[in-house]
Amino acid sequence: MGNISPLLNRIDGRLRFLGSCWRWSDVMAIQTKHICIEEERHVRANDRDYNERFSYADNHIKTAKYTFYTFLPVNLFEQFQRFANAYFLVLLILQLIPEISSLSWFTTIVPLVLVLTITAVKDATDDYFRHKSDQQVNTRQSQVLIKGKIQNEKWMNVRVGDIIKLENNQFVAADVLLLSSSEPYGLCYIETAELDGETNLKVRQALTVTSDLGADVSKLAEFNGEVICEPPNNKLDKFIGTLYWKDNKYSLDNEKMLLRGCILRNTEWCFGMVIFAGLQTKLMQNCGRTKFKRTSIDRLMNTLVLWIFGFLICMGITLSIGNTIWEQRVGRDFWAYLLWDKLLSSPVFSGFLTFWSYIIILNTVVPISLYVSVEVLRLGHSYFINWDRKMYYSRKDTPAEARTTTLNEELGQVEFIFSDKTGTLTQNIMVFSKCSINGKTYGDVYDDFGHKVDITEKTPCVDFSFNPLMDRKFNFHDSSLVEAIKLEEPLVQEFFRLLALCHTVMPEERSEGELVYQAQSPDEGALVTAARNFGFVFRARTPETITLYEMGQFVTYQLLAILDFNNVRKRMSVIVRNPEGQLKLYSKGADTIIFDLLDQSNEELMYTTSEHLNEFAGEGLRTLALAYKDLDEDMFDEWMKKLLFASTSLNNREESLGALYEEIEEGLMLLGATAIEDKLQEGVPETISCLTLANIKIWVLTGDKLETAMNIGYSCNMLRDDMNEVFIISGHTLLEVQRELKNAKERIMGPSRDRFSSGQDVGKTDMYASDSVFEETIIAEYALIINGHSLAHALEADLEQILLDVACLCKTVICCRVTPLQKAQVVELVKRHKRAVTLAIGDGANDVSMIKTAHIGVGISGQEGMQAVLASDYSFAQFRYLQRLLLVHGRWSYHRMCNFLCYFFYKNFAFTLVHFWYGFLCGFSAQDVNEQYSLRYPNLYRPGQLNLLFNKRKFFTCTLQGVCTSFVLFFIPYGAFLSAVRDDGSHITDHQSFAVTIATSLVIVVSVQIGLDTNYWTAVNHFFVWGSLAVYFAILFAMNSDGIFRIFPSQFPFVGTARNTLNQKSVWLVILLTTVVCTMPVVAMRFLKTDLHPTQTDKVRLLQQATRRQGPQEQNLRRVRRTSSRRSAYAFAHQQGYGELITSGKNMKVHTSSTSAFPGNSLGRTHSSSSWIESMLKKRGDSNSAVEAEETTDSGITDQTRVDVLSEHSLETLYTN
């Protein structure tokens, strides 16, 4: 591979970088071909010479296409790859040949140069900003260990094998192996929102042997370990490698890697060894290739232009044959009257020259002005989007932005929307909304008459000023809960005491009284913050204690056990001893699980709480049940002995521990339930409902867990309990997934097998003949939910078709735990098998791949940076603006473009074919309905999806109308002028008078036609339509004036022709007759069609006219309340492993700022390396029964229980997500 290094360096120049993501070029296929053949990677620390032998990618980035010297030739080469530009270049060359040219060459070169210049300026501007972006990214500073010193180096100079230093809140520049950090035991905290969309913190831990290196630069410089690992791949949650150092080898996994795109949080510093850089990082491997996006109208126009060019050739051949025959038979008789320099000896050669001459004369049938006009129209539509105040988000001062001008009309044809969840549909903010305590609900607000009122921004919040440690961002509106706290109601206090104790949150006191909670899930952070504001402040923890600030007093609880969450238990519990010496077990989890563990005396309270849970769930809130239990001292001692034995068992350890956990958790006493709102962005349910009415299918592709995504689905009304069935595909093997998909398809198609067929696109051909299908989709509604590991199998070639069939038969599709690459694969699947326009919308770097893949990419500037915005075609701040972008701007753009193209082709055929007929005898539009009605009647969007307004049939209709118009324009004046005379009796049949009459008739006819095509008249319309007529007459009279003749006598010799022709009454009668004959059939056809077969647009337009004086009515799309047993999504947002981390003390700093606040207690004590089970047994005199559990050090890493039973030998073990 050393031989291809120069080639790869050149290819690297073609790489595109966007934000923190690469923009791939087609050349990347060559580089990938060479690089990805490696079966394993060898990287040696601090040894660039060794690593450079493998030609690994570096961090240098180049997205710009041109340099100063290559811009002109490369840009011209690209532009002349467009058929139209090449065609007009050939035409220009033909016009330079005097024998065949009947038009001046400047009539072609001026518009051609104008088009090339405008495009070149646009490309140069875009490339200039790419150069600036490249410069900004490549010159970012990174601290690299070089020759024993920490030096500041640019990102572009970082190489594989380098040791780099990262500091708090910095982006990770490459995929690095964590060596050491400022935290105990080599821990560090990262935020992976750029990778998976999750903003909760994750923990990574260095190997013990490398964490001892610390920040000692000399030791780090001497580190020469070699890593042998997997080759570059796109698996974000997997890494397999081995570190060889000092004759020992150490296994490496994903928990020891910091991936590019992550942000270092709550860690002062860390050192890492670069394993993958640049394109080969896992984030870049998940980024799709940048594709040139073209609209369906663009593709159709290219086809039509080829057809028109063929038609032009046929006309030229027809006229050239006619010329040959004419020259051979009668042409000789006219030679005396023609001012030729020399006679043509061959009629065939004359026909050959005539062919090329007519190609030039009739070239306007393929006008270059078409492309100029289309680009101007698109540019105007882009400005309409940018200027739309209703898509401006004032809170962040963020307007909507059309980042491309080439896709506007395709916004009116979207059939599939692929949306991210976190930060796109939701705000990624969890809020404690309501709760139920001892059978009473809190959180609602009532007026003086006892009626519930809606909570708005103007609703007064509860005053928490009694609590000096309150979180000022926390809002709650029901003051009765604060009153219950102040009255010291025991169960209310116990409720919030549970929330303050039963969690895995880590506190950080940055200054006196300024608490910051680091939670592994936003749900836990919301609950602990709620307890904090209601007077139960979680202040500090050690591996053995938890300290609260309860209603103004410090209280320390002894932490005896954490029975942590997992996906089977769906709950977590803690066992503590309070200052009075009482043993308490506090538990929280899914209500269906907690209710099964309750004591029988709780039956009535359970039913009441269940009703409250149903009410909370109906509002789309994430619910959780809370319970507690008083423990007997002797029973607890006996249980601890069983637990120690089970935790050291080699067989069925997980099952034994689970049974013991359940044993001590039986007989719980119910306290109540919490309801957390995963706050949706404003207007999300209404937007989804409106888009669904427009027959747009919305698929959610998210990295979140299945249950969390389902809960959001219910909140958005995408999932409802009245759906016929919700299919969950969760198979782990290809056969399991295939069986589940087939079963789902059979359940859907069983009662209506004859109506559907595999892969058939129902209702695609007839917009208004699909009532039965529409009723079927309303009556039988299904939803498909598929997990990431199942989706990986379903996207294989054998199953992708059945996946698509089932998904398209379902009203809602949600894909969970998907990687960025899988998002792109799903979009590509629909693009490949469905002739439909797709749109992808997201806000994070993990959405960039699908945004690039879809026909249209939309970025939301949200919580996760600007990577999605930079990769998008359109951007705005809120999901709800998508409704207006599609149903208003998209629909208007599509209608305007289609109307413009139909008129343009009609006009040009009418104009050009007049010359064709002569050869035998001489040898804008605005919107149709306003924006309120466009939003009120989403089914008006349907014609764009079906591509009804401009297609091949429409083109032939317009062409036929143009041909007929040209026929009338020529032969009515021709027939009239055969015997017409002037007022003085002289003939008016000279060629110039004939040309003026036809040209005037043409301009008037096409002006009347555009007036008929205009549905909404404004001052701008009037100015341009009638102004065009005025300009025509002004130019006509100027070209036939004495003044222009004196300046250019050879070019404009026909003085007074226009004046002498248009002052004749017979000429105006001919013009009037021609106009009436051309336009009356069109008026009659449109009247009959609107009256007998009105479209939906016609109906709404009439309704709009009838109700014009009435104020616009807002559509009432309210959120549907539901009752569901699928409630406790909170527990599923939790992750396994934090309990072990806390009880082991690995994440506890020796000195914290909170230590000084509690002198004399155990907060400042350095924690023991023994487990909490051993500590408890030692305190009880049973330390002899403590045994070592060394066998769990390696084999049990991924299946660790939540109880830390590890000895000092197991410090390298860390939970896995």
- List, in sequence order, every residue forming a beta bridge with 554; answer none if it has no partner: 549
What's the length of the chain?
Answer: 1217
Determine how β-strand 163-167 pairs with β-strand 269-276. antiparallel
* 3-class SS of residue 908: helix
Single-letter residue type at 100 = I
Distance in angstroms (rounded) separating the CA atoms of residues 305 and 310 = 8
Distance in angstroms (rounded) separating the CA atoms of residues 641 and 660 = 11
Q: How many CB atoms neighbour CB 646 within 10 A?
A: 21
Closest by CA to 848, choosing from 23, 12, 223, is 23
Closest by CA to 973, choosing from 879, 1073, 850, 892, is 1073
DSSP E strand stretches across 351-476: 401-402, 414-419, 426-437, 440-442, 445-446, 452-453
Closest by CA to 664, choosing from 725, 585, 732, 770, is 585
The token duo for 551 is 């209603």
898 phi/psi in degrees, rounded to 5: -65, -45
DSSP string across 235-302? -TT---EEEEETTEEEEE-GGGEE-TT-EEES-SEEEEEEEE-GGGSHHHHTSPBP-----HHHHHHH
Closest by CA to 561, choosing from 1207, 1213, 1173, 1163, is 1173
817 phi/psi in degrees, rounded to 5: 55, 40
Residue 1013 vs residues 304, 471, 715, 1092: alpha-carbon distances, Å: 22, 61, 44, 19
- In the set 196, 420, 478, 678, the catalytic residue is 420
Q: Is 851 left (phi over 0), alpha (psi -120 to 50) or beta?
A: alpha
Determine how β-strand 837-842 pairs with β-strand 856-860. parallel
Closest by CA to 773, choosing from 744, 811, 800, is 811
Distance in angstroms (rounded) separating the CA atoms of residues 1147 and 267 = 11
730 phi/psi in degrees, rounded to 5: -135, 20
Q: What residues have CB less than 8 Å from 798, skipping those under 6 apart?
A: 734, 738
Could you confirm whether 1091 is annotated as catalytic?
A: no
* 3-class SS of residue 216: coil
Q: Is residue 560 within 8 Å of 580, Cβ to Cβ?
A: no
Distance in angstroms (rounded) separating the CA atoms of residues 788 and 1217 = 15
Single-letter residue type at 91 = L
E strand or H helix that includes residue 106 = helix 106-138
E strand or H helix that includes residue 386 = helix 369-386
Closest by CA to 399, choosing from 18, 881, 844, 839, is 881
- List, in sequence order, every residue forming a beta bridge with 242; answer none if it has no partner: 228, 251
Single-letter residue type at 850 = M
Q: Is 450 left (phi over 0), alpha (psi -120 to 50) or beta?
A: left
- List, in sequence order, every residue forming a beta bridge with 430; answer none if it has no partner: 678
Q: Is residue 58 within 8 Å of 278, Cβ to Cβ?
A: yes
E strand or H helix that includes residue 955 = helix 952-977
What's the per-residue H, E or C state across 3-27? HHHHHHHHHHCCCEEECCEEEECCC
The token duo for 102 is 């009947």
User: Which residues does the annotation mark as catalytic?
Assistant: 420
